[in-house]
Amino acid sequence: MSNQKIKVAIVGASGFTGSELARLLLNHEEVSIEMITSESHVGKPFSELHPQFFDRLDIPLVSADEVEKIKPAVIFLALPHGVSMDFVAKWKDTGAKIIDLSGDFRLSSKEVYEEWYDKKHSYPEGFETAIYGLPELFAEQIKKATLVANPGCYPTASILSMAPLFAKRLVQEKSLIIDAKSGLTGAGIKANATTHFSNVNENFKAYGIAGHRHTIEIEEQLGALTGSQAIVQFTPHLLPVDRGILVTAYAKVNQDMNQEKLTQIYKDFYQNKPFVRLRNQAPGIKDVRGSHFCDVFPVWDERTERVIVISVIDNLLKGAASQAVHNMNLMFGLTESEGLSQVPLKP
């Protein structure tokens, strides 16, 4: 890399993802944050929206209309589903690489998107060029990409829990059950009746049962590993915590298995993947909080003849912002771990 820093624009500053992106990029040696946008807060310092940046990142927020003026090398879209697609269409020819943190280009086609997101897709051409931004599976394609669809947080933890077995075609058809729990920040920054303190505190509940929109994202990616269709029973739950996702995945396998064999399959698959840590005991969400790690713990249950895999991530980081930075590192030929070596924050 030359001494010239990568010019970055973050589009969408008001949410948790935008603020976490800014926090990571502020300490990234190769990057210069040139612009942060927010349509509803134009003119305010970024640090007024996110006081943790006081005296560290006080740049005034601008409208997204200003982005092209600075000719950024990379644009991070930290926008809601259904909004990003218009900006991708608008900026596709600017020469900037685009990393979209919404769900607008994560699926295989316009039709699949419209069915699961119940929204019209205005830029179907994007599906032809978008690369699914999970570095553990697609690092080589990401290096050449101009549009990366940053994966969802639930799918990241879910796919990484089961990818080694799907890659070897070991999972019995229709046997995969994923039971997933997320902290409250997964619901975004805008409060509503569901995320009201009195509803979440001291409470625990399932939602999106038998049809959550992340189901199809998990199915498409695991299916692609085997070259056939994957059917997944996926149930998300809301935890009364700030951040973190814990996935417990259960599957039947179609060959003789034991713990040693299972552990070896996971070691082989993740041996050169610096941010997947294979644990020798069940990880908790605090083991990865504030970091880019996905901790994975595969168990063979001799009695039920099932694989059980525990997988944990920080939903705002490996599930969003740090994953986007990892993708940027790959797209610009940087060391994969540049700006991402934070040790988890505990307690």
What is the C-alpha to C-alpha distance for residues 209 and 103, in angstroms, rounded to an integer? 19
Is residue 303 domain-shared with residue 325, that is, in the same domain?
A: no
What is the pLDDT, as a whole number, of residue 193? 87
Answer yes or no: do 11 and 111 share one domain. Answer: yes
d(CA 133, CA 42): 30
**Beta-carbon contacts of residue 303 (< 8 Å; ≥ 6 apart):** none
Task: Tell me if 263 is assigned to some domain.
Answer: yes
Q: Is residue 169 part of a domain?
A: yes
How far is Cα 277 from Cα 149, in angstroms, rounded to an integer? 24
- CA 171 – CA 168 distance, rounded (Å): 8
Statement to judge: residues 253 and 168 lie in one domain: yes
**Distant-in-sequence contacts of 329-336, Cβ < 8 A, 24+ apart:** 330/135, 330/139, 330/142, 330/143, 331/74, 331/97, 331/99, 331/142, 331/143, 331/145, 331/148, 332/1, 332/6, 332/30, 332/73, 332/74, 332/97, 333/1, 333/143, 334/1, 334/30, 336/135, 336/139, 336/274
DSSP per-residue string spanning 244-273? -EEEEEEE-BSS---HHHHHHHHHHHHTT-
Total structural domains within the chain: 2
Q: Can you give the pLDDT of all 347 residues of the chain as single tens digits?
A: 457 999 999 999 899 999 999 999 999 999 999 999 999 999 999 999 999 999 999 999 999 999 999 999 999 999 999 999 999 999 999 999 999 999 999 999 999 999 999 999 999 999 999 999 999 999 999 999 999 999 999 999 999 999 999 999 999 999 999 999 999 999 888 888 888 999 999 999 999 999 999 999 999 999 999 999 999 999 999 999 999 999 999 999 999 999 999 999 999 999 999 999 999 999 999 999 999 999 999 999 999 999 999 999 999 999 999 999 999 999 999 999 999 999 999 99
Helical (H) or strand (E) element with 1: none
CA distance 94 to 76: 14
Distance, CA of 177 to CA of 250 (rounded, Å): 5
In a domain, 344, yes or no: no
DSSP 8-state symbol, 55: T
Q: 14 lies in a domain?
A: yes
- Tell whether 345 is covered by a domain: no
Beta-carbon contacts of residue 271 (< 8 Å; ≥ 6 apart): none
Q: Which candidate in 49, 153, 246, 251 is catalytic? A: 153
Domain range for 77 is: 6-150+320-331
Tell me what pLDDT residue 238 has: 97
CATH code (residue 80): 3.40.50.720
Are both 172 and 292 inside the same structural domain? Answer: yes
Is residue 168, in this structure, part of any structural domain at all?
Answer: yes
153 is an active site residue: yes
pLDDT at 237: 98
Both 100 and 205 in a single domain? no
**Residue 184, pLDDT score:** 94
**Pairing between β-strand 294-301 and β-strand 306-313 as defined by DSSP bridges:** antiparallel
Say what the pLDDT of residue 138 is: 98
Q: Is 334 left (phi over 0), alpha (psi -120 to 50) or beta?
A: beta
Whether residue 181 sits in one domain with residue 33: no
Same domain membership, residue 276 and residue 202: yes
Q: How many Cβ atoms from other residues are within 10 Å of residue 126's Cβ? A: 21
- Asked if residue 347 is part of any domain, the answer here is no
User: Does 20 share its domain with 144?
Assistant: yes
Residues 23 and 11 in one domain: yes
Q: How many residues does the chain have?
A: 347
- What pLDDT does 1 receive? 45
CATH number at residue 191: 3.30.360.10
List CB contacts of 47: < 8 A, sequence separation 6 or more.
Answer: 53, 54, 55, 56, 57, 58
Question: Would 254 be classed as within a structural domain?
Answer: yes
Shared domain for 82 and 169, answered yes or no, is: no
123 and 201 both lie in a single domain = no
pLDDT of residue 176: 98
